[in-house]
């Protein structure tokens, strides 16, 4: 009768140690791979939103949608777009072009909640009560818009539409306001600047630690531009100079991807290359 063989205690401990070492090496790799997949899915979402922007502009005399008040582009065309309160946000008016609310949800965003819930109990709505209950992973940048939130931006007003950020990844933001928009002239719940990142998920797909400007500049996320294309950029790359300084309202402002058109409200950001890095 043969004697059964078994692992000794030392052999078992060695095997367990090897498995633990392999797990420690591989788990971060798997996590990075998963995040890269989520970032790619988010970029796909934003490319579809960029295409929706282009189609909306084609259907609306080359105007891009406003963050809100999309009943008309401006007072020269009273209510000609037809959208009305409370279903006139940018995400709602682009929905017919994408036909899928999940496109507004970044797979890496666990903080967002649907916008539009607040009006579900209203009567006389222009659409089903839940039609504008849309995930809030993204905001529209209206820094270039003339007269702030009231007038739409025409593509021809931008010298460099391929360098004008239009849709950004968002977080609930200041006081959990989760506004539809960000702008360099906004109140805090919608404000954006190189050193005020509270309303933008600037490092969603490339997590950073620390709060210095240099550390924030290492964070990366996806952006949609006014010409409809989308790409991944680090926070610092979005704030590079794209034109000569402009004198506006007694201040010197530098055109960046966040704002190149200074026909609207005065800029709170007052970004100057080399001073905010």
Read off the pLDDT of residues 153-192 as tens digits, 9 standing for 90 and up.
999 999 999 999 999 999 999 999 989 999 999 999 999 9
Label residue 253 by pLDDT band (50, 70, 90).
confident
Q: Can you read off the two tokens belonging to residue 113?
A: 């909640």
Alpha-helical regions (H) of 180-230: 213-216
Read off the pLDDT of residues 254-273 as tens digits, 9 standing for 90 and up.
899 999 988 878 888 876 55
Q: Dihedral, CA atoms, 148, 84, 98, 260, nearest 10 degrees?
A: -10
Q: Which long-range contacts (CB under 8 A, 24 or more apart) does 34-38 make?
A: 35/108, 35/205, 38/106, 38/107, 38/108, 38/205
Domain residue extents for the chain: 10-253
Read off the pLDDT of residues 68-81 as tens digits, 9 standing for 90 and up.
999 999 988 999 99
pTM across the whole model: 0.86
Which residues are registered as beta bridge partners of 256?
241
Instruction: Work out the percent of the chain whose per-residue pLDDT is above 90.
Output: 65
Kindly report which listed range (35-49, 94-108, 219-233, 247-261) carries the lowest average pLDDT score: 247-261
Give pLDDT, residue 7.
Answer: 66
Give pLDDT, residue 277.
Answer: 39
Question: Helix or strand or coil: residue 190?
Answer: helix
């Amino acid at each position: 009768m043969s004697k059964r063989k078994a692992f000794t205690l030392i052999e078992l401990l060695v095997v367990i140690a090897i498995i633990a070492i392999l797990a420690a090496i591989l788990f971060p790799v798997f996590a990075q791979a998963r995040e890269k997949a989520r970032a790619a899915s988010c970029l796909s979402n934003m490319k579809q939103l960029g295409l929706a922007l282009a189609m909306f502009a084609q259907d609306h005399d080359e105007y891009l949608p406003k963050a809100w008040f999309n009943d008309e582009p401006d007072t020269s065309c009273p209510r000609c777009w037809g959208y009305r309160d409370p279903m006139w946000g940018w995400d709602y008016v682009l929905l017919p072009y994408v036909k899928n609310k999940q496109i507004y949800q970044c797979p890496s965003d666990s903080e967002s909640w649907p916008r539009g819930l607040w009006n579900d109990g209203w009567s006389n709505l222009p659409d089903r009560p839940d039609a504008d209950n849309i995930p809030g992973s993204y905001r529209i940048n209206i820094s270039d818009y003339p007269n702030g939130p009231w007038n739409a931006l025409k593509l021809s007003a931008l010298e460099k539409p391929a360098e004008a950020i239009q849709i950004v990844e968002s977080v609930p933001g200041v006081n959990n306001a989760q506004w539809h928009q960000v702008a360099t002239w906004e109140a805090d719940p919608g404000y954006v600047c190189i050193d005020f990142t509270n309303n933008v998920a600037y490092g969603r797909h490339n997590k950073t630690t620390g709060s210095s400007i240099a550390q924030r500049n290492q964070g990366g996320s996806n952006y949609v531009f006014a010409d409809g294309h989308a790409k991944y950029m680090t926070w610092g790359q979005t704030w590079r100079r794209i034109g000569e300084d402009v004198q506006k309202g007694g201040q010197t402002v530098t055109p960046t991807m966040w704002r190149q058109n200074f026909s609207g409200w005065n800029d709170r950001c007052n970004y100057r290359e080399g001073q905010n890095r």
